[in-house]
Structure 1
Amino acid sequence: MAKADRKVAVVTGGARGIGLAIGQWFLANGHQVVLLDVDTSTLDATQKQLNRPDDVLCLHTDVSNPEQVQAAADQVMARFGRVDALVNNAGVAVFKPALETTLEEWRHVLSTNLDGAFLCTQAFGAIMVRQRSGAVVNIASISGLRASTLRLAYGTSKAALIHLTKQYAAEWGNYGVRVNAICPGPVETDMAKLVHSAAIRADYYDTIPLGRYGSTEEMANTVGFLCSPQASYINGQSIAVDGGFDASGVGLPTLRRTTPALQNVGQVDGSGDPAS
């Protein structure tokens, strides 16, 4: 297939974790891929790891900076001449009690998670609107669907991102551009391993019917589907990719204790991993 005929996917926060897995999904499915990230050293290492110079463009970009975002969009058009998918994955979090969260921390989270998605969608989405085709997927969070502790800024930013998704979908569906979001539950990433203690992991297992964290590949598969022709009539939706976390209420630990076949589900061993 000629280079000009191949689809192009842009992934923000693409240097590691979920963003990198999404970029790899697009590569495996024939796309040329643009990875944006503010972490220069990690992005450079990822570029070397992928070793696909003809197919991968890595751009150091702070998504909260309008000039940097527009410069990235200009470079993508100069290199590839089209954009077929945008995944707004870049995000930050502050985990603190509400009264300890400062305005500076609030603005830092909102400027990346919400302003960044707005700026990137305006810049790259405009290209898709002109093409009258394309798909945007925002990486929201289960924290945008249900409140939990220590996530005042993060949860609010993700809830706003879910509504931003609907606003774009309502207008851009008229141009053939679909806009959706996924809401991951806890995912096995390097960051999760650093910040989730055994106690926190046990809390999650107590609430998730599938009794485990998700994988980056599972998130990428869902994003890839939403950007594919198979999802051609899905627009303005936010899909929880969470093992049933959003659907569940109280009672899972009791059910597991009182049902012999389920007594090992969700238990955490000494390493902080679920017992098999």
Structure 2
Amino acid sequence: MTTPSTSLALTGLNALVIGGSSGIGEAIAHGYAAAGARVAIAGRVAPKLEAAAARLAERFPGTRGYVADVTDPLALASLAETVEQDFGQVDVLLPCQGTTIIKPTLDFTREEFNHIVATNQTSVFFACTTFGRAMLARGSGAIVNIASLSAHRGWPRACPYAMTKHAVLALTHTLAAEWGPQGVRVNAISPGFFLTDLNRDKMPPERKESALRRTPMGRFGELDELVGAAVYLASPAAGFVTGTVINVDGGYLASGI
């Protein structure tokens, strides 16, 4: 019997973080690089992506940045081809792209709904299948999806967002079951309340107060506190872990009241 690995090192692995130009994605990209991976990030907005790539390369030479709007099928295919050509195979994929709008459900327009679904659900599905195809051919790879507290509960005033995050969990569980026999692991992280560029200004004061009151640890998370779970799920130490969701939420989902 082989001895199971307890290594959290990502040395020798290539990781791609989509949505890596800010917030959760950028924090995890730095964490993957610190754990030894060669890291590439992708983002939709060129100036923002280039600034994030420069910050990453300053600490970890050899990292790369790619401008791509992965809601566009042609741009996603081009990203996969370009990364494969000049960066190498993607061993670890973290699709972190996301957006939200907070408003009463009856007020959502079709355009707003379609935009949220295209970013949070459709592009995540096709990122997994686009990069997962090569992983399946090799018989190895790890995908770490980003879910949300809203994937586990009703989420008033953010219904389309909650729907997409429920879908991310369904995607994670289904791909884990389907791709496990071929050596590809698919897991997810459900972050609790972390103030990022996505939600800092969109969350009204009463929602922030409610979040703190219902979180047993009584504070918002720090982005670096997501890194450990992301590194673990990508690492050899998680070699027999697939279809799992790690809640990094200060006890929010456990509290039950």
Work out whether the TM-score is over 0.5: yes
Aligned AA (2:225): E
Aligned AA (2:65): C
Q: 1:79, CA displacement in angstroms?
A: 1.3
Summarize the alignment of residues 158-169 of structure 1 with structure 2, pairs less than 5 Å apart.
158-169=165-176
Aligned AA (2:179): W
Q: Is the 8 A contact 1:138 1:165 kept in 2?
A: yes
The structure whose RCO (Cα within 8 Å, separation 6+) is larger is: 2
Structure 2: distance between partners of 1:190 and 1:200:
16
| Residue in structure 1 matching 2:207, options 191, 200, 212 | 200
Larger Rg: 1
Structure 1: distance between partners of 2:183 and 2:39:
21
The reply to whether residue 33 of structure 1 matches residue 39 of structure 2 is yes
| Residue in structure 2 matching 1:87, options 79, 91, 94 | 94
Q: 1:188, CA displacement in angstroms?
A: 2.9
Q: 1:65, CA displacement in angstroms?
A: 1.0
Q: 1:54, CA displacement in angstroms?
A: 4.9
Q: How far does the alpha carbon of each residue in 1:220-244 deviate from its partner, in whole angstroms, 9 at most, with x for none?
A: 2211111111111111112221111
Gaps of 5+ in 1: 251-276
Counterpart in the other structure of 2:185:
178
Q: Is the 8 A contact 1:207 1:249 kept in 2?
A: no
Structure 2: distance between partners of 1:26 and 1:195:
29
| Residue in structure 2 matching 1:9, options 11, 15, 26 | 15
Q: Is the 8 A contact 2:102 2:202 kept in 1?
A: no
Give secondary structure in 1 for the equivalent of 2:42.
strand
Q: Is the 8 A contact 1:136 1:227 kept in 2?
A: yes
Number of residues paired by the alignment?
246
The reply to whether residue 218 of structure 1 matches residue 222 of structure 2 is no
With normalisation by structure 1, the TM-score equals 0.85
Q: 1:197, CA displacement in angstroms?
A: 3.5
Q: Is the 8 A contact 1:88 1:138 kept in 2?
A: yes
Aligned AA (2:19): G
The reply to whether residue 48 of structure 1 matches residue 64 of structure 2 is no
The reply to whether residue 133 of structure 1 matches residue 136 of structure 2 is no
Q: How far does the alpha carbon of each residue in 1:106-139 deviate from its partner, in whole angstroms, 9 at most, with x for none?
A: 1100111111111111111112111211100110
Q: How far does the alpha carbon of each residue in 1:60-119 deviate from its partner, in whole angstroms, 9 at most, with x for none?
A: 111111111111111111113311100011001011111001111111001111111111
Structure 2: distance between partners of 1:83 and 1:230:
19
Q: 1:192, CA displacement in angstroms?
A: 3.4
